[in-house]
Structure 1
C-alpha cells in the first residue's frame, strides 16, 4: 500500500477558504420594530439597519439588554431584545449616535 495519495491538507483547497461577510451599509437610521411571529405570542424588538460589524453588534446588544433588564441575541445583522421596551431602546440608540425609525407593529 502506498502513502502517495493526499487525504487532508490545510495548505489549500476548500477547507481553508473563508468567505468574508459583507456588512450592509447603514443609511443613518436604526429601524426598530416589534415582532411576535414564530415566538408563541411573545414580543421581541428587532433592531436592524445599524451597519455595524459582528463585534460592535454584540457590544451594543449587551448594552441594550443590560439597560432593558431583559434577554436577547444577535441574529445576522439584527439585534433582538425580548419584551417591549421601545422607549428605552430609542434612548440608548440615540445616545450611541443613531437616528431611530419605528417600522411595523
Structure 2
C-alpha cells in the first residue's frame, strides 16, 4: 500500500534548519522568541522637514537604530496618528506632509527624546 504523502516534504521527519539533524536529536540552543529592542528613553530621534522637487513637504524622523527598534510598527503608528502616507527609506522614516508637532508629541508619549 502506498502512503498518501510518500516522497513529499510531509513524508519526511522534521529537521533542524541550523544543524540539519532530526529535531528530536538536535542540540542547538532554542532561538530567542523576543527580538532585541532598545529602550526608547535612551534614544534621541531627530526631526526635520524637507521640501521635495514637486513642492510637497515631507517630515523625516532620523537617528533611530533600525536593529534596536521596530521601525515598521513605529511608522504604522505615526501614519495613523498623522493620517498621512509614509515610508521607511535609508534608515529613516518619511511621512508625507508637515507633521512635525504631531510626530514630536507621539514620540515623546512613547518615551523617545526628540531633537529638531
TM-score band by shorter chain is: 0.5 to 0.7
In 1: Cα distance, 2:44 partner to 2:110 partner:
12
Q: Identify the residue that residue 34 of structure 2 maps to in structure 1.
A: none
Moved beyond 2 Å, runs of 4+:
52-55
**Please, which runs of 5 or more residues in structure 2 have no aligned partner?**
1-39
Q: Identify the residue that residue 100 of structure 2 maps to in structure 1.
A: 86
Q: What value does the CA root-mean-square deviation take over the aligned residues?
A: 2.1
Q: How many residues align?
A: 76
Q: Identify the residue that residue 81 of structure 2 maps to in structure 1.
A: 67
Q: Identify the residue that residue 50 of structure 1 maps to in structure 2.
A: 64
Q: Identify the residue that residue 76 of structure 1 maps to in structure 2.
A: 90
**Please, which runs of 5 or more residues in structure 1 have no aligned partner?**
1-25
SS of 1:80's equivalent? Answer: strand
TM-score, normalized by length of structure 2? 0.59
Q: Identify the residue that residue 97 of structure 1 maps to in structure 2.
A: 111
TM-score, normalized by length of structure 1? 0.65
In 1: Cα distance, 2:102 partner to 2:69 partner:
22
Q: Deviations over 1:4-63 (max 9, x none)?
A: xxxxxxxxxxxxxxxxxxxxxx9721000001133x110000100011338711100000
Larger Rg: 2
